[in-house]
Amino acid sequence: MELIIQTLVNGLLIGGIFIMIAVGFTLAFGVMDIIDFAVGEWVMLGAFAAYWLQTLVHVDPLLFFPVIMLTFGAAAYVFQPVLQSVINIKHRSAALMALAFTFGLSTFFRGAALTLWGFNNRNIVTFLSDQSINILGITLPALRVAATVFAVIITIGFMVFLNKTKTGVAIRAAAENKTIAGLMGIDGQKVARTVYAIYAALTSLAGVFIGSIFSVNPDMGLRYTAFAFFVVVAGGMGSFAGAIAAAILLGLIASFVSVYVGGAYIFLILFLFLYFVLLFFSKGILGKGL
């Protein structure tokens, strides 16, 4: 019984981190109409940023997360027009080309990281590492709790921003229809840039947490790309509530499968599950997608 509860708690806590990735990813998908296959590499680079901050500057990377987020946000803001120009190419298969482009980008990031930093696993030590809270025999690792608390705060903040501020509502409008939003005076290009920057910042923060909880290596990104893909599709393309639900579900599935079946089967079971979701709930698990 205790094992079940522990597994459940672990799943919920890891689901919290996935929410951080899912929210930004869903918004970027909504505004730019592409699946960014490089999402996992932002996680990897975020983790490496934390590692180098610790190794070279000797600071606790967890305390310097705003620096990491700002750096990634700024880099993405500068880079976004390049990606946008591929999406906007006047060509029948522009969407496919953009998809291939992000895939190439992901390969490039992974290859560059491998060449520069080698294949070793590295560890990030933060002030929360090795700390944990015990409640009724259930262990709550402090780092995972912090990650989830962060994810919840950020998600709520993000929702308030999207629903209550003028810019937020404009972003939602542009996500639904850029042409019409343009007629309202909303610069779709600027919205896409802003959203891409927010998405990269959130994903890099998830990378800091993931790198601290597990370990850092150049190959870690791919699995998070697959996870992000699972979350948007299972949640229903473009639906926030769906993506959040799918992120928690993903955490639970990953946790239970690795305890009761074996870590090697996570992807098999995850995508089998996705297959049935698509078969029976084509609009996502909450029925709110496109």
Partner 1 sequence: MELVLEVENLEVSYGGIKALQGISFHVAKGEIVTLIGANGAGKSSTLRAVSGMIRASGGRINFKGNDVTGLASHSIAGLGLSHVPEGRGVFTRLTVEENLGVGSFIRDDKEGIKKDMETVYELFPRLQERKKQLGGSLSGGEQQMLAIGRAIMSGADTLLLDEPSMGLAPLIVQDIFSIIKHINAVGKTVLLVEQNANQALKASHRAYIMETGRIVMSGNADKMIHDPEVKKAYLGGH
- Total residues interacting with partner 1, rule: CB under 8 A: 17
Which is closer to partner 1, CB of 159 or CB of 169?
A: 169
Q: How many CB atoms lie within 10 A of CB 285?
A: 20
Residues linked to residue 138 through DSSP beta bridges, in sequence order:
135
Burial (CB < 10 A; 0-12, 13-18, 19+), residue 160, is: exposed
Which is closer to partner 1, CB of 94 or CB of 182?
A: 182
Which is closer to partner 1, CB of 125 or CB of 180?
A: 180
The CB-of-54 to partner 1 minimum distance in angstroms stands at: 42
Which is closer to partner 1, CB of 58 or CB of 90?
A: 90
Residues linked to residue 255 through DSSP beta bridges, in sequence order:
none
* Measured distance CA(201)–CA(268) in Å, rounded: 30
Which is closer to partner 1, CB of 55 or CB of 177?
A: 177
* Measured distance CA(238)–CA(284) in Å, rounded: 10
- 207 near 35, Cβ under 8 Å? no
The CB-of-277 to partner 1 minimum distance in angstroms stands at: 21
The CB-of-176 to partner 1 minimum distance in angstroms stands at: 5
The CB-of-181 to partner 1 minimum distance in angstroms stands at: 7
Which is closer to partner 1, CB of 61 or CB of 188?
A: 188
The CB-of-238 to partner 1 minimum distance in angstroms stands at: 9
The reply on whether position 198 binds partner 1 by CB under 8 A is no
Among 187, 241, 258, 273, binds partner 1 (CB under 8 A): 187
The CB-of-163 to partner 1 minimum distance in angstroms stands at: 8
The CB-of-91 to partner 1 minimum distance in angstroms stands at: 13
* Measured distance CA(235)–CA(26) in Å, rounded: 9
Strand ranges, E, within the chain: 132-135, 138-141
Judged by CB under 8 A, the chain residues 74 through 133 that form the site for partner 1 are none
Residue that the structure tokens 């590692």 belong to: 51
Closest CA to 269 of 286, 255, 282, 248: 255
126: left (phi over 0), alpha (psi -120 to 50) or beta: beta
Provide the mask over 162-181, with x wherever binding to partner 1 is found by CB under 8 A and - wherever it is not: ----x--xx-xx--xx-xxx
Judged by CB under 8 A, the chain residues 33 through 62 that form the site for partner 1 are none
* Measured distance CA(125)–CA(63) in Å, rounded: 12
Binding residues for partner 1, rule: CB under 8 A, are 166, 169-170, 172-173, 176-177, 179-188
